[in-house]
Amino acid sequence: MPKHTLTGNIKRHRAFPSKILGNRRDILVYLPRGYRRFLGRRYPVLYLHDGQNVFDAATSFAGAEWGVDETAERLIRAKLIEPLIIVAVANMGEERVHEYAPTRGIIDAKARRKKRSKGLAGHYAEFLAEELKPYIDRKYRTKTDPEFTGLGGSSFGGLVTLAIGILYPHIFRRLMVMSPSIWWDNFVIYRLVDSIEQKPPSKIWLDTGTAEPGWEQTRELCNRLIEKGWKLNKDIQYIEAERADHSEGAWAARVEPALRFLFAAN
């Protein structure tokens, strides 16, 4: 079994309850160096989906972790990013596709009996905004305003990050969107982007790997966001990682540039 490789000051909140979703999940909270020493300081917060994969190989899918704790520690120490709190929000296993899907799309088109998602991303967003974030803001010294609050994930976690960022810009404004599942429900995310009437003041990291099937769809998504007013290399950073596949290891390799763009030290 992989070793536990937690780095830094990490707090575990077991079985955190949600009335909105009717379930409980583990929450891990990374606190930056100096958190206990500088008691007057408040910190921006990054919420990450698929929390099992964020810090610890022992709990992650296929034994591969993103190493966000080690990367954040190193970048903070080098003063390349501002010190921040990182909240890893565990997924609910088989319920993951339901919570992360913005619509009731078909999960497996090849299956004999077509199984649909429940499309619970709206409820999941409410859980984050109305239950988890208020708890984290009470428990820890956070900067509570939307411009200091980030959200991130990969694959379906990337899809739900962008969807929530578009629908909840009054809560989340720094978006880490890695290898998003753009194909979902006949490219519903394109339609959501196209429906934006006024561009929110959000900062978006968007990436894909060129070894991923359909990676060009992410380039198209970037173009649509630029059409809505995001400025490349200013409030949207877009990366096509050469020969990178759709895997935890590929996303782990892009955590550093994503953090440096979204949480750059002033």
Summarize pLDDT for 199-239 with one digit per residue, the tens: 999 999 999 999 999 999 999 999 999 999 999 999 999 99
CATH class of 9-262: alpha beta
Q: Give the per-residue pLDDT at 9.
A: 87
Tell me the average pLDDT across 183-198: 97
Q: What pLDDT score was predicted for residue 113?
A: 67
Q: What would the mean pLDDT of 150-162 be, rounded to a whole number?
A: 98
Mean pLDDT of the chain: 93
Per-residue pLDDT, 1: 33
Banded pLDDT at 266 (limits 50, 70, 90): confident
Predicted pLDDT at 262: 98
All structural domains of the chain with their residue ranges: 9-262
Tell the burial category of 15 from Cβ atoms under 10 Å away from its Cβ (0-12, 13-18, 19+). Answer: exposed
Q: pLDDT tens digits for 42-54?
A: 999 999 999 998 8
Task: Please check the confidence at residue 4 and state whether its pLDDT lies above 50.
Answer: no
Segment 248-263 mean pLDDT: 96
User: Is the pLDDT reported for residue 71 higher than 90?
Assistant: yes
Distance CA 264, CA 266 (A): 6
